[in-house]
A and B are shown apart, each in its own frame.
Chain A
Amino acid sequence: MAPMNEHDLLIQRFLDHELSPTERTAFLQAVDVDPVLRRRWLNLEMVAAETARLPKIVPSAEFLNRLKAQVIPAPPSLLARLCAAVTAHRTLEWNFAGAMAAACVAVVAVAGLLSLKPERIVEVPVTVTPAQTASFGAPSDPKVFVRLILVQPNAQSVSVAGDFNGWNPAQTKLDRTDGGVWTVTIPLKPGRYEYMFVVNGKQWIADPLAAEDAGDGFGSQNAVLDVAI
Chain B
Amino acid sequence: MPVDRGDWPDDAQLVARSLAQDHEAFGQLIDRHASVIVNLGYRMVGNRAEAEDLAQETFLAAYKALSTFRANSKFSTWLYRIASNKCKDWLRVKRPGQGRHDLDADEHLDLHIAEERTPEALLSQQQVAQELEQAIQRLPPLYREAFVLKHIEGLSYEEMEEILGVNSDTLKMRVYKGRVQLSRDLAVLNQMG
Contact = CB atoms under 8 A, between A and B. Distances in A.
Interface of A: 1-2, 4-5, 8, 11-12, 15-16, 36, 39-40, 42-44, 46-48, 50-59, 63-64, 67-68, 70-73, 75, 153-154, 179-180, 217-219
A71 B176 contact: no
Contact of B152 (A15, A54, A59): A54
A59 B23 contact: no
B60 A44 contact: no
A12 B38 CA distance: 29
A126 to B, nearest CB: 29
Interface residues of B, number: 55
A71 B182 contact: no
A219 B30 contact: no
A55 B51 CA distance: 15
A57 B48 contact: yes
A71 B30 contact: yes
Given A2-B108, A54-B129, A153-B121, A72 B26 contact: yes
Contact of A71 (B2, B63, B187): B63
Interface string B80-116: 0000000000000000000000000011110101011
Interface in B136-183: 136, 147, 151-152, 157, 170, 172-173, 175-176, 179-180, 182-183
Contact of B157 (A16, A51, A70): A16
B42 interface: yes
Contact of A57 (B35, B128, B129, B182): B35
Contacts of B116: 36, 39
B106 A46 contact: no
Contacts of B9: none
A59 B111 contact: no
A50 B179 CA distance: 11
A52 B152 CA distance: 6
B56 interface: yes
B106 A1 contact: yes
A154 B51 contact: no
Contact of B120 (A12, A64, A153, A218): A153
Given A1-B108, A64-B34, A71 B59 contact: yes
A217 B2 contact: yes
B173 A1 contact: yes
Nearest to B43: A54
Majority-rule SS of A interface residues? helix
B120 A50 contact: yes
B2 A219 contact: yes
Nearest to A54: B129
Contact of B38 (A2, A48, A57): A57
Contacts of B125: 53, 154
19 contacts: A1-B173, A2-B108, A4-B173, A8-B111, A16-B172, A39-B117, A40-B113, A46-B119, A46-B186, A47-B183, A50-B120, A50-B186, A57-B48, A67-B34, A71-B26, A71-B63, A72-B23, A73-B23, A153-B121
Contact of A153 (B1, B52, B118, B173): B118
A175 to B, nearest CB: 17
A42 B121 CA distance: 12
Contacts of A51: 132, 136, 147, 151-152, 182
Contacts of A58: 35
A16 B173 CA distance: 11
Contacts of A39: 113, 116-118
Given A42-B118, A47-B186, A57-B39, A52 B151 contact: yes
A181 to B, nearest CB: 9
A63 B31 CA distance: 11
A55 B42 CA distance: 11
Given A16-B172, A154-B125, A218-B2, 19 more contacts: A1-B108, A2-B109, A4-B111, A11-B176, A39-B116, A39-B117, A39-B118, A44-B183, A46-B183, A50-B132, A51-B182, A55-B129, A57-B39, A59-B52, A64-B31, A70-B60, A71-B26, A219-B2, A219-B3
